[in-house]
Structure 1
Amino acid sequence: MLDLCTTTFENLAHSMGFSCATAGGLVEFRSPFALENATLPVLELTVILGAVLALVHAIVRLRRHRDPTNLVLWFGAIAYLLIIEPPLYFPGAFGIEEHIDTMFAHNVFSVDFLWGRLPLYIVAIYPMMATVAFDVVRSLGVFRRYGTLVGAVCVGFVHHAFYEIFDHLGPQLRWWEWSIDHPMNQPMFDAVPLPSVVVFAALWPMSLAFFVQLFVGRHVDAGRRFSGPQVLWRTVVVGLLASLGTAILPLPATVTQAVTGSVTATGVAYALELIVITAVAVPVLVLQWRRLRAGTEPGPRYTSPVMMGYAAGYLAVLSVLWLTALPAYVGAVDGRTAAGDPVGSLGYAVGCLVIAGLCLVAVRTSGPGAAAGRRPEPVGAAAAG
């Protein structure tokens, strides 16, 4: 039988206060009052609620407007998760243990899958955050005006802002622990691997959004209708291609690492990719918002008030969790709190919070009459954006 308790995972689990040997089976339930600290169930509830709302929103759009875009996005994100995550948890089972040791370990939450490797909230965060980012961009009409590729880049940028608020807080509050000596986690950006900051915060949602819009969204915008089987196979293909895209998009950094062997050079390559995404997304989002405010953008817009309201709530909850972490953060020495927990970058998280908040404000205030509370109507039955 495969040994699930590798040395690296056991060490990471021990540092978070649980044992790999008692982490449970395929599914395990715990009392939310028996977790490592009170922030874990708060995070869990917040993220799972968002995923449920995103799914309900997707179903409503399909039933009322015959628009399966959000449904493909939701299940495409789940398909991506099921392709990407298991090999990272069990490299031995996939025959890659000689190349990839355990990169990180999640803490145990109220509901866990796969012997303590996969909390339910992690399953939920993929479709939740992808929906928030996609709906911000679609609500602003970016896909309609600039096309699939530029729209996908903007989704990656918006997703990055929402995700990094969470990413830089997690290690300090013991939501997960990184294997900081793992070569694939280099270079580190305070408590967060820079590859995570770029690949998992920006490139994977960019890849997912590109294929969702390519296979479904742009056709819905043009008035096309899809049957159930057509939606199903497109969802599977989106998940597969989004996974492939996540391997292709970081190639500049991957090649730099292979050629130079330099952690610094690899970090520069990752940073440059993020800079390019930002350089494309910021002017596009600002210009599109200004057009909508001025009323020069023709046609009504796609709207997502439920998810935009949830996104504001998410930012509020994460802000409170950051505030609870500030005393220990301020007292940290050499990047570690008195309890030995690594701290992320408060400045970067605040910057991302500001950007995420501005994105929501842009959606709320875009379009003539928005300030007076006029709600834009969808385009035809498809509610295309």
Structure 2
Amino acid sequence: MSELCTPTFADLAARLGFSCETAGGLVEVRNPFALENWTLPVLELTVIVGAVLALAYAIRRLRRHNDPTNLVLWFGAIAYLLIIEPPLYFPGAFGIAEHVDTMFAHNVFTVEFLWGRLPLYIVAIYPMMATVAFEIVRRLGVFRRYGTLVGAVCVGFVHHAFYEIFDHLGPQLRWWEWTLEHPLNQPFFDAVPLPSVVVFAALWPMSLALCVQFFVGRHVDQGQRFSIAQIVLRTIVIGVLASIGTVILPLPATLAGGISGSTTVGGAVYAAELVVMAAVAIPVLYLQWRRRAETSVVSEDSSRVMFGYAAAYLVVMAALWAAALPAYLGADGGVTAAGDPIGSLWYTVVCFVIAGLSLAAAWSTGSRRERMPENQDRTVTSPRV
């Protein structure tokens, strides 16, 4: 596949320590003990386990409660990945090379797809993190009380907190490398492109959650059941529409940057979009947590499995950050002695706090269901016989 080994990708691969000329094939398996450093297999295992747990949880909800919402979320995230990622890896093959050069390159992990472009853990992180964020927001009752749009904003905000903990560490530990001069990566927030901080950490999960709740979740809450054919069709539609939403939601920043000709202006609008999301999500999540005293206990709470995993994820990421901290603190000019760019420690700490508080709030209401007014519809699940 050497014809797809563009100069930009070849340079990024060399900086990460591998050659794109020999980067496997459609599928490749490597020795996990022979990767760039020990953090790669740790990250890979952590994320893949989370994705498997999220899928098992989705199947359990479908079987026990006739609720396909999580299954649609899981596969909708995969559909989104398959639509968004390949053109970014092979812009020439998709006829967009004149407009989009290679924006980044992942390092090679144990299991790889697409000639060294797509590690298995990247496939897994989409449904894993979407499930964690969605379950936190749903367990807090945001969708029931505030509706689909506000709930989706909260999912994007929570997802952003969990994702940025990982996003600001990756470049230093050589999990991936960004193309520094690429216009779509501008401006940078330390080692991370600000468009990534907003679009891939917050807006895409917001778009996915909006579509999942609109096409499936709210109907399930009203007692509707779906056939297998309906589930498959809606999953495909959700993957497509979530991809379109990821183009529409950042449009204010895209247009502002294009019209002004300044990436700084575009970056300011990106940041403003994130601030708006935070301004909506923080008070809503806080108020729902405060309402936990108005809840009544129910017998089963299978989402505690996902919450337990989310806590483990935060512990692993804290350990990886701790391992990276000596080199981080010794960095000069935003670059470690080994030549690796560093992310923002203060922003990561803020994200740790938000993720931890969100998870704790959901956990504290994890075995409860919000009391609804007598005249408001609620989902009733019949006990299994």
Deviations 1:214-256 (A, max 9, x none): 0000000111111100101000000000000000000000000
Q: Is the aligned partner of 1:154 residue 2:154?
A: yes
Measure the CA separation in 1 of the matches of 2:363 and 2:310: 12
**Unmatched 5+ stretches in structure 2:** 371-377
Q: Give the match for residue 313 of structure 1.
A: 312
Displacement after TM superposition at 1:263 (Å): 1.4
Q: Is the aligned partner of 1:350 residue 2:352?
A: no
Deviations 1:113-147 (A, max 9, x none): 00000000000000000000000000000000000
Matches within 5 A, 1:117-266: 117-266=117-266
Tell me the amino acid that sits aligned with residue 38 of structure 2.
A
Displacement after TM superposition at 1:43 (Å): 0.1
Tell me the amino acid that sits aligned with residue 356 of structure 1.
A
Q: Give the match for residue 96 of structure 1.
A: 96
Tell me if structure 1 keeps the 8 A contact 2:297–2:368.
Answer: no
Tell me if structure 2 keeps the 8 A contact 1:169–1:322.
Answer: yes
Tell me if structure 2 keeps the 8 A contact 1:67–1:382.
Answer: no
SS at match of 2:3: coil
Q: Give the match for residue 60 of structure 1.
A: 60
Identity %: 73
Q: Give the match for residue 277 of structure 1.
A: 277
Matches within 5 A, 1:64-75: 64-75=64-75
Tell me if structure 2 keeps the 8 A contact 1:141–1:302.
Answer: no
Q: Give the match for residue 290 of structure 2.
A: 290
Q: Give the match for residue 375 of structure 2.
A: none
**How does the TM-score come out when normalised to structure 1?**
0.95
Displacement after TM superposition at 1:379 (Å): 4.8
Tell me the amino acid that sits aligned with residue 64 of structure 1.
R
Tell me if structure 1 keeps the 8 A contact 2:157–2:281.
Answer: yes
Shift in CA distance, 178/125, structure 1 to aligned 2, threshold 3 Å: same
Tell me if structure 1 keeps the 8 A contact 2:223–2:379.
Answer: no
SS at match of 1:112: strand
Measure the CA separation in 2 of the matches of 1:265 and 1:109: 36
Q: Give the match for residue 329 of structure 1.
A: 328
Q: How many residues align?
A: 375
Measure the CA separation in 2 of the matches of 1:379 and 1:238: 23
Deviations 1:240-298 (A, max 9, x none): 00000000000000000110011111110000000000000000000011112x21x58
Shift in CA distance, 22/2, structure 1 to aligned 2, threshold 3 Å: closer
SS at match of 2:338: coil
SS at match of 2:177: strand
Measure the CA separation in 2 of the matches of 1:112 and 1:6: 19
Tell me the amino acid that sits aligned with residue 7 of structure 2.
T
Tell me the amino acid that sits aligned with residue 365 of structure 1.
S
Tell me if structure 1 keeps the 8 A contact 2:222–2:379.
Answer: no
Tell me if structure 1 keeps the 8 A contact 2:54–2:131.
Answer: yes
Tell me the amino acid that sits aligned with residue 314 of structure 1.
Y
Displacement after TM superposition at 1:380 (Å): 2.6
**How does the TM-score come out when normalised to structure 2?**
0.95
Matches within 5 A, 1:18-29: 18-29=18-29
SS at match of 1:177: strand
SS at match of 1:3: helix
Displacement after TM superposition at 1:61 (Å): 0.5
Tell me the amino acid that sits aligned with residue 114 of structure 2.
L
Tell me if structure 2 keeps the 8 A contact 1:111–1:120.
Answer: yes
Root mean square deviation, CA, Å: 1.7
Tell me if structure 2 keeps the 8 A contact 1:308–1:360.
Answer: yes
Displacement after TM superposition at 1:316 (Å): 0.2
Measure the CA separation in 2 of the matches of 1:312 and 1:260: 43
Q: Give the match for residue 373 of structure 2.
A: none
Tell me the amino acid that sits aligned with residue 164 of structure 2.
E
Shift in CA distance, 268/7, structure 1 to aligned 2, threshold 3 Å: same
Measure the CA separation in 2 of the matches of 1:264 and 1:87: 26
Tell me the amino acid that sits aligned with residue 327 of structure 2.
A
Tell me if structure 1 keeps the 8 A contact 2:297–2:369.
Answer: no
Shift in CA distance, 339/141, structure 1 to aligned 2, threshold 3 Å: same
Measure the CA separation in 2 of the matches of 1:298 and 1:91: 53
